[in-house]
Structure 1
Amino acid sequence: MTDITRVPLQPVASGALTKLWIGVALAVALGGAVAFESRQKGLSVETRQAGAGPMPAATDYVLVNYVGHLASGKEFTHGEHVPIAVSGVIPGFSKALQQMQKGGKYHVFIPARLAYGANEQRDQQTGEVSIPSNSDLTFDIDLVDFKSEQEVMRQRMMMQQLQQMQKGGAAGAGAGAPAPAPGGAPDPTAQ
């Protein structure tokens, strides 16, 4: 048999191994930078003042003070003592609420993909665009309080019973008939 497939090995050039290790180090550094940049574009919850106790669950209702800004710094919304269903808001806001504690103050960055994405939002009164499509949002949020869904339902039932009792005492003859749901009672699920 003959050695037709034999390939002679050439010696490694001087400095080639060093260049190879430099290339590997650059690739690792570039990968780390890309991973860091990707993490920076995600949801960020910065604690400005620590709260205490447990954190709200997705099924809970919160009472918050908040101010929302676009990346340009323009305020697009605000509210004081606003009751909100944790699951009833944009995904980034919901995830942020679940990382907060009662009494805490937070600064939240929500990337567009966890906000409204490509859907622009319009002011209901003026019809003007209040949040352009693909907008990153920031919020300053104070978590005043939160309650479980069961607590909210229990309070709602108590309010209805009180109103039925008040209507029953005033109406006299209609005391046995079920009263309609309260129209003027504050709804903790309203946004």
Structure 2
Amino acid sequence: MSTVTAVPIAPTKRSYLVWLWIGIAVAVAAAAALAWVGTSTEAVRASLPNDKFLAANKRQSGVIETASGLQYEVLKQGTGASPTDGDITLAMYKGTLRDGTQFDASQQPTPLPVTGMIPGFTEALKLMKKGGKYRIWIKPELGYGAEARKDQAGKEVIPANSLLVFEVELFEFMPQAQFMQMMQQQQQMGGGMPGGPPPGAGPPQGR
């Protein structure tokens, strides 16, 4: 820039600089406080008893609670009809405890009999539609209750009175009779049943 077009910057008063630094410090402190509050809130919710956790959780945006106490959130809305008690569903799922510890997950779309699940899982399946994906919270009374679940080595994977969290994606469903006929045909051709044991049949110990 030439000396002709250069415009000198007026000196900043010391008091202005002090207030500027104070303002920056306040903004940084406020941001840190907000981050701490968010983390603290999650930590507090995680430490709550199941009933208080569910009471707080149902106030979260998008969470719906049914008459039985099942809570769910629609992550992706499906279309068409919903499965009934006489159907076999084809779904992907992941099950975790409240602290995020994963205890079960399908590796591929897995056949799940609607009435062969724990009560909360069965109820959730009957709410879903093809192509839908839900997050569900199953209180112990709709899950395994006071029964702890162990793997084949005897290690506890689901403590007694656990609240279970599942993400479930429903791909397809059909009447059980139709599914059994398909399986018989597949077995005759040398195939087997796709997928692994369903979650409601009990991860480890009950599987």
Relative to 1, partners in 2 of residues 1:112 and 1:101: Cα closer, same or farther, differing over 3 Å?
Answer: same
Aligned to 1:99: 127
- Please say if residues 84 and 189 of structure 1, whose CA atoms lie closer than 8 Å, have aligned partners that are also in contact: no
One-letter amino acid matched to 1:134:
N
Q: Determine helix, strand or coil for the equivalent of 1:100.
A: coil
Q: Paired residue for 1:121, among 149, 159, 168?
A: 149
- Aligned partners of 2:70, 2:132: CA distance in 1, in Å? 18
Q: TM-score, normalised by structure 1?
A: 0.63
SS of corresponding position for 1:58: coil
Paired letter, 2:74? T
Contact (CA 8 Å) 2:143, 2:164: kept in 1 or not?
Answer: yes
> Does the alignment pair 1:86 with 2:92?
no
Match of 1:185 among 178, 191, 194: 191
Query: Following the alignment from structure 1 to structure 2, what is the Cα–Cα distance between the partners of residues 69 and 113?
Result: 17
Q: Given the alignment of the two structures, is residue 153 of structure 1 paired with residue 192 of structure 2, yes or no?
A: no
TM superposition shift of 1:128: 0.6
By how many angstroms is 1:123 displaced? Answer: 1.3
Q: Distance in 2 between matches of 1:73 and 1:59?
A: 32
**Residues 134 and 168 of structure 2 are in contact (CA less than 8 Å); yes or no, is this contact kept in structure 1?**
yes
Aligned partners of 1:120, 1:58: CA distance in 2, in Å?
Answer: 27
Counterpart residue number, 1:52: 79
Q: Which amino acid aligns with 1:187?
A: M
Deviation sequence 1:36-90 (CA, Å, 0-9, x none): 9499582012111111111011121111111111011111110021111111111
Tell me the distance in 1 between the aligned counterparts of 2:151 and 2:196.
18
Residue 180 of structure 2 corresponds to residue 136 of structure 1: no
Tell me the residue number matched to 1:65. Answer: 92
Q: Return 5+ residue gaps in structure 2 as ranges.
A: 1-51, 59-64, 198-207
Report SS of the residue matched to 2:121. helix
Using the TM superposition, give the Cα deviation of residue 131 of structure 1 relative to its aligned residue in structure 2, in angstroms: 0.2
CA distance in structure 2 between the partners assigned to 1:108 and 1:88 by the alignment: 17
User: Once the 2 structures are TM-superposed, how far is the Cα of residue 188 of structure 1 from its aligned partner?
Assistant: 6.0
Taking a change above 3 Å as real, the CA distance of residues 71 and 43 of structure 1, as seen in their structure-2 partners, is same
Return the match for 2:140 from 112, 116, 127: 112
Contact 1:67 1:141 in 2 (8 A): yes
Give unpaired runs (5+ residues) of structure 1. 1-33, 164-183
State, as a whole percentage, how many aligned pairs show the same letter: 36
Instruction: Write the distance in 2 (CA, Å) between the matches of 1:78 and 1:189.
Output: 11
Could you tell me whether the CA contact under 8 Å between 1:56 and 1:97 is conserved in 2? yes
1:118-151 C-alpha deviation (Å, 9 max, x unpaired): 0000012x32100000000010111111111121
CA RMSD of aligned residues (A): 2.6
